[in-house]
Amino acid sequence: MSESDMAIIKPEMMKSYIWLETSDGSIQQVEQEVAMFCPFICHQVLQKGAGSSKNNAISLPQKVNPAMLSLIFDYCRFHQLPGRSNKERKVYDEKFMRMDTKRLCELTSAADSLQLKPLVDLTSRALARIIEGKTPEEIREIFHLPDDLTEEEKLEPLKNTMDDPRIRLLNRLYAKKRKELKEREKLKSIEVEEHVDERSVDDLLSFINGRDHKVVNTSKSKKKNKKRKEHKNGTCKVSNKDSHNLHSKQRSVDETSSSLGGVSNLHNIEDDIFSRKAEFEDGYIDDEIDPALKEMLDREVEDFARRLNSSWVLSVGQERQPVHFSINGNGDTRRLTGPAARHK
Amino acid sequence: MKTRIDDQSKPQTMIQEKYTKRYQNLKVAEALSNNHLYPFACNELSSIIDLGYSQLPKDLKAFIFRDCLSAFRLLPDMNTSAAVSAANLLVKSVESAFPKQKKNLAIVEFKQAKVALKRRTKGHDEHIDLPSLPQDILVHIFSFLDVYSLLSSSQVSRSWNQATSEGSLWRSLFDLHFSHKVSIHIHPGFDWREAFKNEYILYKSSKMLRSGRGYCSYCDSVVWHDNLRCPKKQCRLKSGKKPLDLMLTHQVVNYLLGTTSSSDESDSEDEAVRGLWAYPTLQ
């Protein structure tokens, strides 16, 4: 080999690499200056002397999968070069941040576990820009988050110390009921699914009191009494699925103490519903349901739903209104005062 | 409410240029392509049209028309309910004030936008599992949010709700909004969120924040504020912790038209303000 060849090859051979192992067990090596840009890897190398060989590979935190790792190293590779201007870096960063929300979240977690603060800042700002100006429902949709807050927690955004799972379950059911009623208003012409869902919620409420074995029977009996045609399979599935959810909950419900202090309003309403259910319990077992009882139950659940609905919707509506309604002349300001007056 | 344009003695072209320049400085068109500012920009356009379209010089009318069209064209990209309600308001203003031909063009554009919007929302039912973010990261993300977005986030889910209760978030918001107006006594266990809420109601912040506009004395212009700060970096450096002077929409319109109209609002807004911090009222 000539001198010039050696000169070309040598720098490559002299470059040192660091060995890393990701959560899925795969091992790779990365240029030292790139990897050392991450504080986590830096500490591992300096304090534990790890990463020098394949056997001694640094095991990376769980949240760092290979895809994210390669993204992170792209970032590091660009930024660790001191010769870059601020403008160049800024342009690169903006381009780098263009990815879907899922990857942004993954990247944020990964960067955080590698303690790469500048990247965490970048991704956090990008996520904040996504969240900005959106309603809770929209945010939930984008981030695929569950709607697991009680109505109270939503209305009064403070840390909720009352953690009774029974109350949470109840609220979830009430929320479900409200949603169904809303859908019913929208789909007035389509009659198939409504009563099925309603029945299953009522079943669940009585279920909480511990009368599980009657669920399947009662749902079937209610079906017979409906004037509308339904698909048998569909309804069975709905009620069975719900009863399965309840099976697991029932254990915890029975075991938790019955003290519901602190949520007085909810407590009263809960009691009301439960006592009424107990009264009409026998009515459910029979194959014929007295239409009058059915009417009463319907009204009662709707009433409660309306109460929940009005205060919840109003408060959320008020919150959004100040941002998006402006002074647009006589007609539109009246719109603002309308619901505001109702709220008081 | 009376509006007057008081420099009718000057030659026509000078007047036109002045208004056009002012309008361009307002940067309404730029705001329309920004996801967060779109509703504010639409509301401002609606106000301008409602409060004085007929008095505008011809050039400016053309600009307003152009921006209304682009507002409707951009609507499908925005994809939030806030954007949809803002666009609806804009259409109402257009319907009542624009001359026939322009009105029809604008409405056609709006209808096309609504169709496109419907088509977009139909495709979205993937049940992906997003990784859950750790609490300290959530807090870090929330530290970049304005107060409305933070409150929205608090209602999203249980983990997000816990993250929003972090005192440091509310402390920095309090500092941002009120520190130059209020001095407070801090003690251990001080509830910053409560303090913020009280001052917010006291200062009728919701009214002031509604426009999205502020006046920056450093660059001497009306700007779209970025969480109460001027979007220009130099101004932020100069102003330090001091927030912008917030402006109401009708003040912005007055600035544009050189008029001195007064606000049309009634005081039932206090009720709307309280709604932001509603207490459960299960009666």
- B167 is a domain residue: yes
Tokens coding B1: 């409410």
What ipTM did this prediction achieve? 0.79
Of A106, A145, A308, the CB nearest to B282: A308
Q: What is the mean pLDDT of residues A214-228?
A: 44
Tokens coding B137: 């990261």
Give the per-residue pLDDT at A343: 45
Tell me if B133 and A109 make a contact (CB, 8 A cut-off): yes
- B222 is a domain residue: no
Mean pLDDT, chain A, rounded, equals: 66
Query: What are the beta bridge partners of residue B216?
Result: B221
Residues sharing a CB contact under 8 Å with residue B222, sequence separation 6 or more, in sequence order: B25, B26, B213, B214, B215, B247, B252, B255
Tokens coding B86: 């803002």
Query: How many contacts, defined by CB atoms under 8 Å, are there between A and B?
Result: 222
Is A112 a residue whose pLDDT tops 70? yes
Q: What is the mean pLDDT of residues A31-46?
A: 88
pLDDT tens readout for residues A187-208 = 775 555 444 455 556 666 666 6
Please tell me which residue of chain A has the smallest CA distance to B139: A124
Tell me if A135 and B283 make a contact (CB, 8 A cut-off): no
3-state secondary structure chain B: CCCCCCCCCCCHHHHHHHHHHHHHHHCHHHHHCCCCCHHHHHHHHHHHHHHHHHHCCHHHHHHHHHHHHHHHHHHHHHCCHHHHHHHHHHHHHHHHHCCHHHHHHHHHHHHHHHHHHHHHHCCCCCCCCCCCCCHHHHHHHHCCCCHHHHHHHHCCCHHHHHHHCCHHHHHHHHHHHHCCCCCCCCCCCCCHHHHHHHHHHHCCHHHHHCCCEEEECCCCEEEECECCECCCHHHHHHHCCCCCEEECHHHHHHHHHCCCCCCCCCCCHHHHHHHCCCCCCCC
Give the per-residue pLDDT at B27: 92
B263 and A CB contact within 8 Å: yes
CA distance B258 to chain A (A): 18
Give the per-residue pLDDT at B145: 93
Tokens coding A171: 């609220």
Give the per-residue pLDDT at A189: 59
Write out the DSSP string of A68-129.
HHHHHHHHHHHHT-TT--HHHHHHHHHHHT-S-HHHHHHHHHHHHHTT-HHHHHHHHHHHHH
Label residue A163 by pLDDT band (50, 70, 90): very low
pLDDT tens readout for residues A232-267 = 444 444 444 444 444 444 444 444 434 333 334 444
Successive 10-residue mean pLDDT values, chain B, 283 residues: 54 77 90 92 92 87 93 90 92 92 93 88 61 88 92 90 90 86 78 86 82 90 89 87 86 84 51 45 37
Tell me if B279 and A155 make a contact (CB, 8 A cut-off): yes
Of A326, A333, A343, the CB nearest to B275: A343
Mutation target to probe the B interface, by most B beta carbons within 10 A, among A132, A343, A344 is A132
- B211 is a domain residue: no
Q: Is A137 helix (H, G, I), strand (E, B) or coil?
A: helix
Label residue A327 by pLDDT band (50, 70, 90): very low
Is A7 a residue whose pLDDT tops 80? no
Of A135, A151, A344, the CB nearest to B81: A135
- B26 is a domain residue: no
Please tell me which residue of chain A has the smallest CA distance to B84: A324
Give the per-residue pLDDT at A124: 94
Closest by CA position to A203, among listed A242, A152, A235, A158: A242
Q: What Å distances lie between residue B52 and B25, B260, B265, CA to CA?
A: 18, 12, 17
- B21 is a domain residue: no
CA distance A129 to chain B (A): 8
Residues sharing a CB contact under 8 Å with residue A201, sequence separation 6 or more, in sequence order: A173, A176, A177, A180, A242, A301
User: Hunting for tokens 């590091």 — which residue is that?
Assistant: A76
Of B137, B207, B274, the CB nearest to A112: B137
Residues sharing a CB contact under 8 Å with residue B73, sequence separation 6 or more, in sequence order: B109, B113
**Residue B181 belongs to domain with CATH number:** 1.20.1280.50
Give the per-residue pLDDT at A288: 46
- B182 is a domain residue: yes
CA distance B221 to chain A (A): 21
Chain B residues with beta carbon closer than 8 angstroms to that of A333 = 264-266
Q: Which of A104-118, A308-322, B38-52 has the lowest mean pLDDT?
A: A308-322
Is A162 a residue whose pLDDT tops 50? no
B55 and A CB contact within 8 Å: no
Tell me if B82 and A329 make a contact (CB, 8 A cut-off): no
Give the per-residue pLDDT at B93: 92
B54 and A CB contact within 8 Å: no
- B14 is a domain residue: no
Domain of B187, in residue numbers: 133-206
B259 and A CB contact within 8 Å: no
Quote the number of domains for chain B. 1
- B194 is a domain residue: yes
| CA count, 13 A, side-chain hemisphere, A144 | 14
